[in-house]
Amino acid sequence: MAQKNTHRAAGRAVTPISASSAAVRTASGAAVLGTVLVGSAFTMQGATAQTAPAAPAQNTASASTAKATVTTTASAKSTSLSAGATLFSGVRGERVSALQASLNDHGAHLAVDGVFGTKTNAAVRDFQSTNGLRVDGRVGPETRGALNGGSSANASSSSSSTSGSSIVSAARSQIGVHYSWGSSNPSSGLDCSGLTTYAYSQAGKSLPRTSSGQAAGGTRISQSQAQPGDIVHWPGHVGIYAGNNKVIDASGSRQQVVERTIWGSPTFISYR
């Protein structure tokens, strides 16, 4: 009876192989024995994983350029001045800041601090002189309009002259009309502020009805700056400046509208 051969070949060891450690061949043919890799396939795969290209960095240069473009565009926008009371030396606030920014848009170099000081006054005067405006350092409707891009040179002066001439003509047309307190209707007589209200209305402009309201509502100027059509004001009395130191007014003492030489020390009010 044959016996089972239990002898092993001399010098050869037998290594048990389980399902979990069974030899596996990779796609490239390298053999994996247990957990040990024979061949170079795994090493190549590891190298490939370690040297995978990084995600592209964000283009910060382009973003910065775009941001700079937006900033430049915003800063290039000119400042527009809103309507309101006349600005002059000593005034403070947001409207003065807007004025300073607008002057800078036109070539000035002012600190935008909201204080109408000597530098702002000088910049206003320079702008007025350059643009053919009355140089008084005050920012009223004409200077404000010029800063906002309106026609500023001769067109503005021409418009003021035409308007002033119309006001004077309307006032002169009432010379001899009798004085009537509280009336602004030539057919029933005129008082002093009634005459000025009537004359301005003929030029398409409205005024406050009383003499004190007319004095407070415009811009106070010196006599040397006054032009025909401006208001001449005494306490409780007003008239129309006719030029050459003359005024047209509804005189209570003479009981009619007259043209006469200015007396005393009145103030002059401009609505230009």
Alpha helices in the chain (DSSP H): 41-50, 60-76, 94-105, 118-130, 141-147, 154-172, 192-202, 211-217
Q: Which domains are assigned to the chain?
A: 84-152 (1.10.101.10), 160-270 (3.90.1720.10)
By CB neighbour count within 10 A (0-12 exposed, 13-18 middle, 19+ buried), where does 19 fall?
exposed
Structure tokens at 268: 């002059």
Q: Say how many residues make up the chain.
A: 272
pLDDT tens, per residue, the chain with 272 residues:
445 444 444 444 444 444 444 444 444 444 444 444 334 443 444 444 444 455 444 444 444 433 433 333 333 446 788 877 789 999 999 999 999 999 999 999 999 999 999 999 999 998 988 887 878 898 988 898 899 886 544 444 555 666 889 999 999 999 999 999 999 999 999 999 999 999 999 988 999 999 999 999 999 999 999 999 999 999 999 999 999 999 999 999 999 999 999 999 999 999 98
The one-character DSSP state at 83 is: P
Give Dmax (Cα) for the chain: 168
> What's the Cα-to-Cα distance from 84 to each of 141, 142, 145, 170, 219, rounded to whole Å?
9, 12, 12, 28, 12
